[in-house]
Structure 1
Amino acid sequence: MPFCFVGKHQLIVKTEITEDTKKSNIKDEVKKIVNKPTITKTVNITMDKGLFKTIKRARCTPVFEKDKHCNNFEVVLAHSTATPIRNHNGFAYTCIFCTDHFKYPADLKTHTLMKHNNSDDRRKFMKTQTSGGYLLKLDITMLKCNICDESIDTIEELFDHLQNEHKKLIYTDIKNQMVPFKFNGEELKCAVCPRVFTTYKVLLGHMRTHYRNYVCEICDYGCLNRKLMLTHKKSHKTGSFECDTCNKVFETFQKMRQHAYTIHKFKSMPAKCTVCNERFKSFPIKDQHMITVHGMTPVVRKCLACDKIFPTQLALRIHTKKYHLMERDYKCKECEMKFFAKDQLKCHMLKHSGKKDFQCDVCLKWFTRKYVLSEHMRIHMNDRRYKCLQCGRGFVQKCSWRGHMRTVHGETDITVLY
């Protein structure tokens, strides 16, 4: 560097000059020197205060990644209708600034734009963020520019608009860790692709397929930020990981940490109420607590394909995969049959092995499955639980009852089932 600062308004110019340039002015002294015999000379110059400040401002000051995220966050929230979301607890959306809860995203947007439309709240939030763990979930439903009221469709288009039309500073040399969401109607639809989801949590997990800022070189898993990627990479490390509390050993760090949190830290009570922080043994119990104690509206978990209603999100997810997506990941090695669950495949394999481990104590007949033996025992107990409503006959097995309804009363399978 040819310039360095000394004192308050002094500039020292260090350069290489020849004997022929001793009497030249400052501009000539700082020019690039041709290959001639040179000597080193230091020139002390007292400069004007204004010129000193101009040169000082021109010096390159590095901008850290967190500061760039902070700038983009401030610009987007100050000049658009985009509103941030903290999380969704299964019942309501939470404000990122004050943790107030709102059942509908539109109510959260109104609250944020009216109550938190100031720089103090935004700066306070960014102080809690780190570069590696920064992640901003944005509601961009009916997104508009606050300066010119122009409607905008995506976050990327908003960046371009604020830069080109309004000359706002947006750092584009960092990975975009703002995840967009659009809430149009009752459906949770991805803001990037046409896929529809039943819960906000599942939708958030899906967004990592679009924002693959960090990709695992082992399994190609994509993450939104560095912190999530570092956590994921630990799942690939295998070995002996011992619990510090009970000395149990696990094959992966992830399993050991999950054990430590679930058993020792949370005392086998993983479900936490987001309102009063009370913990419960299961999420359905927690959901019932939030309904009865905190007045949350019960969530209707309805299948979008067949309108069936389920008590838990897990039950709905299993139903969707099994009956609508027709997932069959477990294939029989002996025949071409495929099954949804591992237990189904295990039960099917008994047909190929012919192994019979269950014997009737009355007639000594052997069976391959325990539940078949249980049904068989109803014969000896004369348990005719399946009744025909038309003629009053009773049957031990459901298949016998169905056959009776078809052959005697002319009922079809559909009528019998429903």
Structure 2
Amino acid sequence: MIETKAFSFEMCEPPTLGKFGIKQNMQKQCKEKPYNCQVCDFSCNAKYLLETHIRIHTGEKPYSCELCSSSFKTKSHLKRHIQTHTGEKPYSCQVCDLLCISKTHLDIHMQIHVGDKPFSCEVCSSSFKSKRDLKAHMLKHSHSCEICHLSFTRKAHLMAHARTHTGEKPFSCEMCGSSFSQKPHLKIHMLTHTGDKPYSCEVCGSSFTVKSNLTVHMRIHTGEKPYPCEMCILSFTTRSALKTHVRIHTGDKPHLCEVCGASFSQKSKLQTHMRIHSGEKPYSCEFCDSSFTVKSNLTVHMRKHTGYKPFCCEVCGTAFTEKSSLTKHTRTHTGEKPFSCELCGALFTVKSNLEIHIRKHTGEKPYSCEVCGSSFQTKYVLKEHLQKHTGERPHSCEACNSSFRTKSALKVHVRTHTGEKPYSCHVCGSSFTDQSQVTVHMRRHTGEKHYQCDMCNASFTTKSQLEIHVRTHTGEKPYSCDVCGSSFKTTCHLKAHIRKHTGEKPYCCEACGSSFKTKSSLEVHRRSHREEKPYSCDACEAAYTTKAALEIHMRSHTGEKPYSCEVCHISFSRKDRLKTHILKHTGEKPYSCDMCSSSYRTKSALDTHKRIHSGEKPYSCHVCASAFSVKSNLTLHMRSHTGEKPFLCDVCGTAFARKEHLQKHMHSHTKTDLSQDLRTSGYLPTDINPDQTF
């Protein structure tokens, strides 16, 4: 035993220590650390340890690898690094044959088999496999934050942490001016300028600026999720993801908004939320003027331009830009409706639809129009409503330049060009361009008419039909023509009217190329090609292509003439005939011939007149090849071949081919009846011939 400064120690192998060894061993026993770092509080008992430590501050790495140019602070680190090239692992575990680079690693590994943790913390009783782990642990007790009480193994880490409270960012980027609280963060940031990503994935080739990001990325390929949740069965690839997840169970939301008091479980969500108050949208689209508060929203938006749809339905193959859209779509196949209304039991596939539905019960309309004060249950409906005030129609058809307020309306309109009718009636098989049309159509089968008029008790299948009907009582015509001032009850009537001014005929027949102002006119015209006449008369065998034509025909049986002239009180069965008749009183002849001064009350009369100039005779007899400019003349001519005489005298039974011949014939009966009355009265001699003229 050697006694030195009242400290005693037991020497091991005294012949091998020498003078330097004895001195160093004495310093260990008495815990003396005479070598102090002038930069930080580090102290040690050996000069070479201090020299090694100082290289942390100077950045000096004097030991270089000849194979990969990597540099190291100590010779032992270099030696261990070279073994990564040579693959040398000289220390072998006798239990599991694991090979280790150093004896220290082997010693630590062996404790896995024996379960031994011989090093205990005197403060908190934690146990560790190695003295090094205990030493690192003990530093947590010595370096603690006074504000949040977090502990750190190194004083430098505590100082870096303290900057999160003070907001200090002493490390600045010389290229863009960004500041950081820690030097490693600045170093990582600099890689965004250089574009350097030194850590590459061997599986997919992805590159990363930080090794830790590569480590996390590799778990995508391996499927490794080393951080399990103790409260549920979920596992996570990163500790931070687990920490965030645990707050779902605990309800902890430590990040508070100073403006509105909202709290969040993640700092990133708070930062995103703050942009609502600031109006900041830092993520902008390169193709259009759209900007977003969150980068993920920009990523989804960009797929509209690129057409990229990474989420595909395994059942029908439909692809989507967002995973949430695929999830909603999948429920159409499974029939799953996980969200139910507690008041009426209605089921919904999406939670937002349930929230909107509940407002029908509560009557809540949280979205108000600043222009007219109208309130709406959804933000989307308010947005559509505002376009009525602005006149904005942002969605245009590429085929006919028609524009619409909503994208869904444009989508339905495009089907008029493509002929697509994806929605079918399961009762009669009729197809429709829109689901709402099927809903309305089904009421024909059920006879259901929800909407009743308060003035005349008439019922209708849709609310819009009722609103239009009510205008027949009120006389309201809210839609006016800017060109001539004419007013109309519906927008579709106004649109059809405007085409008279513009000459536009957007609806074209595929069979013959004829164009029409309205879709209904085109549909009626198509029946002429199909020889379809779906509206039949119950009184006779007559059939018509339109319901209106049948109603007019029925008046020939009933004798009804609902349209009366206010001047001479003559009545007509058709409104257009009353209009033509009124022109007799006014003397107006609005249709003029371009080639002569003749003018006519009706367009058809003008068209017939023009054939005098052109010599056109479009109506030909298939028997004798005679041609006529007017269809009625052909009809009369055909009776000369068929012998048909449809006009019959009620007095004598004589038949005539033409109506005017019957009228002339009727005069002969009128004269005979008059002379007979005169003879009977004694005013006329009995020998006078009634046809004699005086």
Is TM > 0.5 for Structure 1 vs Structure 2?
no
Q: Which has the higher contact order (CA 8 A, sep 6+)?
A: 1
Which structure is larger by alpha-carbon Rg, 1 or 2?
A: 2
TM-score by length of structure 1 reads 0.34
Q: Which has the higher helix share?
A: 2
